[in-house]
Amino acid sequence: MQDIAEQMQAWHASGRSFAVATVVGVSGSAPRDPGAALAVDAAGEAVGSVSGGCVEGAVYELCQAAIESGEPVLERFGYSDEDAFAVGLTCGGILDVFVQPVVPGSDSGMDAGLALIADGTPVALARVIAGPAGMLGATIAVTATGQHGALSVGPSTVGALERSVVAESRAMLDAGRTGRIVLGLDGRPCDEHGQGTVTCFVESYVPAPRMLVFGAIDFAAAVVRIGKFLGYHVTVCDARPVFATARRFPEADEVVVDWPHRYLDSQLGRIDGRTVLCVLTHDAKFDVPLLERALRLPVGYVGAMGSRRTHRDRQAKLREAGLTDTELARLRSPIGLDLGSRTPEETAVSVAAEIIAHRRGGSCLPLSAGNGPIHHDVAAAPEEPQPAPRTHAA
């Protein structure tokens, strides 16, 4: 929902009612991840997408119906081989979509959540997508230090349940995770959906992941462009002021003149497991002090440019600096996948492909070479909320 938050906030600020449809569960070769959203306002304007086209028309109609009725609904969309024009996912996957009407001023949790998302404040938006009557659609916006909104009037144990929702949501916010939680009415975690349970979909909105590009060379400019395309906040760092200029890297979010290892030391509070480091200097006086630190940090990816000989020499120097085999195994060098790249742009594609494969668990083989699942990081099947969602073209 983050990618359409600006438009939703504009509707909200103008007092315009709308409905938002969010993917809350996926199975098989579904086209969008949980959290993907389509919003439709009372005038029929639509932004976003839940399926890349497969079921957009049906979801659009559900949004219009939700605006009319004021009632949220959980729907399941699956594959139909009986009618090529049926509402279904031709890729064979399954989507669970939660459709929620939004009336500005009627839900303090949603009101606060949209405002926090729009201004970039880290927040977890927890919405009840299955549970007792009176709770469906209840929204709590959880930040690191507080909460906005509350669960609707329900059973006497709602206080304990609400505290658990807030605690679980805050933990997911800390990890930058989006997904479902299932709790009993007493607030205790449950393994299965059923009577007496509440299912919440928690969306974590955190700052964009960071890409740190070390080495202000022509290849770096191409890596910056593709990093921005992938949604990273991109910083270029080089110790040479003649090369590290905003004019040479207009698409970078930041251009820093500093020794790479010293800059990395200054950023320890701003990096996490989603951070990627691309070391493109292939100069030992820059690379070795930087990699000595980087390979000991809990970042998502560390790649370094250079020939195989450069890699061997660099690896030997890092061993001398005290790095273990386990730490050295984290280094992706030479950086990128073997695509036969020559130009800076081709090399950037190679680097981006390796980053994606490393993050998502891809095999790096052509999709045509196998017949297994296309998406490696998606659970085998979505959990079954209660009450069960209505199904389209199962």
pLDDT tens by residue, 157-216: 578 899 999 999 999 998 788 999 999 988 998 876 667 899 999 999 888 889 999 999
Decide: helix, strand or coil at residue 356.
helix
Element holding 326 (H helix, E strand)? helix 325-328
Beta strands in the chain (DSSP E): 18-27, 37-41, 46-48, 73-77, 94-102, 123-130, 139-142, 147-148, 179-184, 197-205, 210-214, 233-238, 254-257, 276-279, 301-304, 331-332, 390-392
- pLDDT given at position 269: 86
- pLDDT at residue number 379: 44
pTM here is 0.67
pLDDT tens-place string over residues 67-82: 999 999 999 987 554 4
Report how far residue 103's alpha carbon sits from residue 105's, in angstroms, rounded to the nearest whole number.
6
Mean pLDDT of 237-251: 96
Q: So what's the pLDDT on residue 295? A: 96
Helices 108-118 and 5-13 pack at an angle, to 10 degrees, of 130
pLDDT band at 87 (very low <50, low <70, confident <90, very high): low
Residue 394 has pLDDT above 50, yes or no: no
Average pLDDT over residues 251-275: 94
Going 101 to 107 to 109 to 112, the CA torsion angle's sign is: positive
Q: 297-353: per-residue pLDDT in tens?
A: 999 999 999 999 999 999 999 999 999 999 999 999 999 999 999 999 999 999 999
Percent of the chain with pLDDT strictly greater than 90 = 63
pLDDT of residue 85: 42
DSSP-derived pairing of the beta strands 390-392 and 73-77: parallel
Query: What number of other Cβ atoms are within 10 A of residue 199's Cβ?
Result: 25
Provide the pLDDT for residue 159: 87
User: Which one, of 234, 218, 212, 214, lies nearest residue 342 by Cα?
Assistant: 218
Max Cα separation, the chain? 69
Question: Above 70 in pLDDT, residue 90?
Answer: no
Q: What is the mean pLDDT of the chain?
A: 87
Token look-up 């009372």 returns 42
What is the predicted pLDDT for the residue at 206?
85
